[in-house]
A and B are shown apart, each in its own frame.
Chain A
Amino acid sequence: MRSPVPIFDCHGHLGVHPDFPAWKHSPEEMLQVMDLLNIEILAITSTRACYNDCPRGNAEVAEVLRKYPQRFRGYITVNPRPPGEALGEFARWSHFHRPPLIKLHPDCHQCPVNGDHYRPVWDFANQTHAVVLVHTWDSDPNCGPLLLGPIAREFSQARIIVGHSGVTWRGYEQSLAVAAEAPNTFLDITGSQSHRTILERAVARLGAHRVLFGSDMPFLEAAMLLGRVLSARISDEDKEKIFRANFESLLEEG
């Protein structure tokens, strides 16, 4: 079983994680799985940056982009603390992609995504028309999807990917509510919970053009997301948009 369409995957990682073993996580092993499932492009964020050290993590992403420029795209992952570091990272890694791809993990960094610490990041994203992938979780005080509605309206030139779409059923409901009001937001379907019918509901409410394929590789199993899309009761045309066209367009538009 593989995707009939070469996939543009909006949510990948590089590295290991603290709380469970990382299997087959080297870039070379990831490429084998990407070929197996027909994932052409994977946009990666450093797991080290999410958990611990953004400058070192982004440097690791730079090395993978240098080695495999045809298969990976790179998010610049930033922590709003210490102040000033994020803007420095944007300058240092400006060659990753244009428009910039930015990853925020307000849960790991324990900083509310709508707080003052993040304002310079959102200003930068707005000015550069960046694509900003934000980790979200149902009702979380730092990264609940509902926090993104006012941000999306204020920084309307940024394109915001609602990472994991809040994960839970209620998190999806919150993400759908935000996305219905903010056209510069997009739902990323990666996540460990494969709720039946939720993809169909998202497509019906927002249109397939607002839904992105994300795998979370090598954190989560990409085949889970592949099966979720392939088994959904939506049209083949909509599946093709989700697998490829939507994220491809975001990468191209500035």
Chain B
Amino acid sequence: MTTDLVFREVATWNVFDANVRLGHSGVHGELVLETDDLLNEMDRLGIQRALVSHFAGEEYDAEEGNNLLAGECHERLTPAWAALPDLPFIQKLGARNPKAVRLSYGVKKHNFSWAPWCAGPLYEYLEENSVLTLVAREDIEWDSLSRLLGDYPRLQILLLETGYRAERYLFPLFKQHPNLHIETSTCVAHRQLESFVERFGPMRLVFGSRLPLYTAGAALAVLATARISDEARLAIAGGNLRRLLGRESP
């Protein structure tokens, strides 16, 4: 029953985890992982790569968080940069040649409106440069998300931590907006993942663990036991994220 044996199959999937954070946290102190410990945990459970943001960039200062994230660069870790809507920040962001950003609209985070009158120039930059845009569900209301997806149809949105009770919002949005994708760490209702695949195929689903707050073993087991094709499992495990980042073939 040892962990490395149980999760051995995962190591063959080339997993690319879309929801990982690094660094010190003022909220989750005892759970954080420094880079070496994070890589060890990824190795233990068979995760190859991760899209990472920095707690400091979310909880404190976006630019400082990005500088700390840049200092932790590693071939297995792809940065999801913090981003603000003002033009000087967008210029600094552009200098980093971003492939992904993680927006934190919340009033206790970066406290800006999702709406075009406030964040329009940022969205135009992200859309123009094919930057994958991560947004946590708790930071945006469903009606606002619908407007955002419709107003910027070339902006690829990866909605994080949707919660497991969101189908009555997600399914209409999936039908109307091909630029919406969801991360799977909280898709934990009974047989939810395979039911999503049966209705919409695997291409809108992106594996995420929510490390270091959650154990990755939970989300990996959900994916491992979903009764879906091997092709669908590999797409969710990492192929879809690679495609969205535009770096590698699926």
**A contact set with B: CB distance below 8 Å:** 1-2, 4-5, 19-25, 29, 33, 36-37, 192-197, 216-228, 230-233, 236, 239-240
Determine which of B1, B192, B195 lies in contact with A4 in the assembled complex, contact meaning CB atoms within 8 Å: B1
Number of B interface residues in the complex (CB < 8 A): 41
Q: A145 CA to B225 CA in the complex, in Å?
A: 32
Say whether A232 contacts B215, CB under 8 Å.
yes
Residues on B with C-beta less than 8 A from A19 are 165
Whose C-beta in chain A lies nearest to the C-beta of B215?
A196
Contact B225–A2 (Cβ < 8 Å): yes
12 more CB-based (< 8 A) A-B contacts, given A196-B31, A225-B218: A1-B7, A2-B225, A24-B195, A33-B190, A194-B214, A195-B31, A196-B211, A197-B31, A221-B189, A227-B217, A228-B218, A230-B1
Chain B residues near A224 (CB-CB < 8 A): 188, 218-219, 221-222
Contact A218 B190, CB 8 Å, known A1-B225, A24-B195, A239-B1: yes
Give which listed residue, A195, A220, A225, contacts B214 with CB less than 8 A: A195
Q: How far is the CB of A42 from chain B (nearest CB, A)?
A: 12
B168 adjacent to A20 (CB under 8 Å): yes
Q: Are B225 and A230 in contact, CB atoms less than 8 angstroms apart? A: no
Chain A contact residues: helix, strand, loop or mixed:
loop
Q: Supply 16 A–B pairs (Cβ within 8 Å), ascending by A.
A: A1-B221, A1-B224, A20-B165, A20-B168, A21-B195, A36-B227, A196-B212, A216-B190, A218-B191, A219-B189, A220-B188, A221-B189, A222-B190, A226-B221, A231-B216, A231-B220
A192 and B188 contacting across the interface, CB-CB below 8 Å: yes
A194 to B219, CA, bound (A): 9
Q: Which of B166, B216, B225 contacts A37 (CB 8 A)?
A: B225
Q: Does residue B213 face the partner (Cβ distance < 8 Å to A)?
A: yes
Give Cα distance in the complex from A29 to B191, angstroms: 10
CB distance from B46 to the nearest CB of A (A): 10
- Chain B residue contacts of A1, Cβ below 8 A: 6-7, 9, 221, 224-225
Answer whether A227 and B214 are a contact pair too, CB < 8 Å, given A20-B166, A217-B190, A221-B190: no
Given contacts A20-B189, A23-B191, A231-B3, contact A221 B215 (CB under 8 A): no
- Contact at A228–B215, with CB atoms within 8 Å? yes
The answer to whether B217 touches A231 (Cβ under 8 A) is yes
Top 3 closest pairs, chain A to chain B, by CB: A231-B217, A227-B221, A194-B218
Judging by beta carbons under 8 Å apart, are B221 and A193 in contact?
no
How many A-B residue pairs have C-beta atoms within 8 angstroms? Tell me. Answer: 127
Cβ contact within 8 Å between B222 and A23: no
Q: Does B249 contact A (CB under 8 A)?
A: no
Question: Which residue of chain A has the shortest Cβ distance to B196 in the bound complex?
Answer: A23
Give, as a whole number of angstroms, the nearest-CB distance from B11 to chain A. 13
Contact, CB under 8 Å: A221 / B216:
no
B167 contacts the other chain (Cβ, under 8 Å)?
yes
The answer to whether A23 and B195 have CB atoms under 8 Å apart is yes
Q: Does B164 contact A (CB under 8 A)?
A: yes
A7 to chain B, nearest CB (A): 12
CA distance A197 to B212 in the complex (A): 10
Find chain B residues with CB under 8 A from A22 CB. Answer: 190
Question: With the chains together, A132 CA to B186 CA distance in Å?
Answer: 28
Task: Find chain A residues with CB under 8 A from B167 CB.
Answer: 20-21
Q: Nearest residue in B to A235 (C-beta to C-beta)?
A: B1
CB distance from A241 to the nearest CB of B (A): 12
Complex: A226 Cα to B7 Cα, angstroms: 12
State whether A194 and B215 are in contact (beta carbons under 8 Å apart), knowing that A37-B225, A230-B3 are contacts in the complex.
Answer: yes
Give Cα A22–Cα B168 distance, bound, in whole angstroms: 12
**Closest chain A residue to B3, Cβ basis:** A231
B-side contacts of A236, CB under 8 Å: 1-2
Chain A contacts for B195, CB-based, 8 A: 21, 23-24
CA distance A21 to B220 in the complex (A): 23
**CA A194 – CA B165 in complex, angstroms?**
16
Q: Which of A22, A23, A219, A220 has the most CB of B within 10 A?
A: A23
Decide yes or no whether B182 CB sits under 8 A from chain A.
no
Residues of B within 8 A of A231 (CB): 3, 6-7, 44-45, 215-218, 220-221
When each residue 77-114 of chain B gets 1 if its CB lies under 8 Å from chain A and 0 otherwise, what string results?
A: 00000000000000000000000000000000000000
Q: Which residues of A contact B165 (CB under 8 A)?
A: 19-20
Q: Give Cα distance in the complex from A226 to B224, angstroms.
A: 11
* Chain A residues in 8 Å Cβ range of B2: 236
Question: Is A221 touching B31 in the complex (CB atoms < 8 A)?
Answer: no
A36 proximity list for chain B (CB < 8 A): 225, 227
Q: Which of B196-221 contact A (CB under 8 A)?
A: 210-221
Determine which residue in B1, B6, B167 has the highest number of CB atoms from chain A within 10 A of its CB, and name it: B1
